[in-house]
């Protein structure tokens, strides 16, 4: 509702924070990135037409904060090919960085669509997932249980059974 009611101001602020200034980990840039990505979340949540902004931000991002924020919006609100291609592109670019792959697992684990649990179960067989690696488990299983309440707390109890099975395996 906020994204719909305030689409104009969110879009104006989002665009005003778009800068070509080289990345710097200073307080002002961190605040600007946070505000810009919050605006993007409201815009895309309110209207899927704003996925174009997320796609553009993903392609042009000069830092991981902006790229991950855009990836999350595309993963959560994008349909089929856009979602799959963007997730695959991110993985292809970052597959050699274990910590970034963990973030990729976590984004997918949190997607609140009807295939959430099936996606997480399939990712447990991914070549880069290792059940004996606590960071991988935290990213995928923890991401699912803590950031995907729609799927973890399913009425049929499948999310709880999944977690129980993982605990037994561990």
Q: Are the beta carbons of 12 and 25 closer than 8 angstroms?
A: no
Q: Using the predicted structure, report yes or no on whether residue 140 has a pLDDT greater than 90.
A: yes
pTM above 0.75, yes or no: yes
Instruction: Say which residues have a Cβ less than 8 Å from residue 64's Cβ, sequence separation at least 6.
Output: 100
| Spatial CA neighbour of 105 closest among 131, 81, 82 | 131
pLDDT digit string, tens, across residues 39-86: 999 999 999 999 999 999 999 999 999 999 999 999 999 988 999 999
Top pLDDT among 170 and 20 is at 170
Q: Where are the alpha helices (DSSP H) in 17-157?
A: 27-46, 51-60, 64-77, 80-94, 98-109, 116-123, 134-137, 143-147, 149-152
pLDDT digit string, tens, across residues 98-136: 999 999 999 999 999 999 999 999 999 999 999 999 999
Query: What's the pLDDT at 21?
Result: 80
């Amino acid at each position: 509702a906020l994204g719909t009611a305030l689409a104009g101001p969110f879009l104006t602020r989002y665009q005003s924070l778009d800068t070509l200034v080289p990345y710097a980990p200073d307080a002002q840039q961190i605040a600007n990135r946070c505000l810009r990505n919050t605006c993007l979340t409201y815009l895309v949540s309110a209207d899927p037409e704003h996925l174009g902004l997320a796609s553009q931000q993903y392609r042009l991002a000069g830092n991981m904060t902006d790229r991950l924020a855009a990836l999350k919006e595309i993963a959560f609100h994008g349909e089929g090919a856009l979602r799959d291609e963007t997730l695959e592109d991110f993985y292809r670019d970052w597959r050699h960085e274990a910590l970034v792959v963990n973030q990729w697992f976590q984004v997918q684990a949190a997607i609140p669509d009807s295939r959430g649990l099936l996606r997480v179960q399939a990712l447990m067989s991914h070549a880069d997932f290792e059940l004996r690696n606590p960071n991988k488990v935290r990213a995928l299983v923890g991401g699912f249980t803590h950031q995907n309440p729609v799927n973890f707390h399913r009425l049929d109890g499948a999310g709880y059974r999944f977690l129980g099975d993982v605990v037994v395996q561990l």
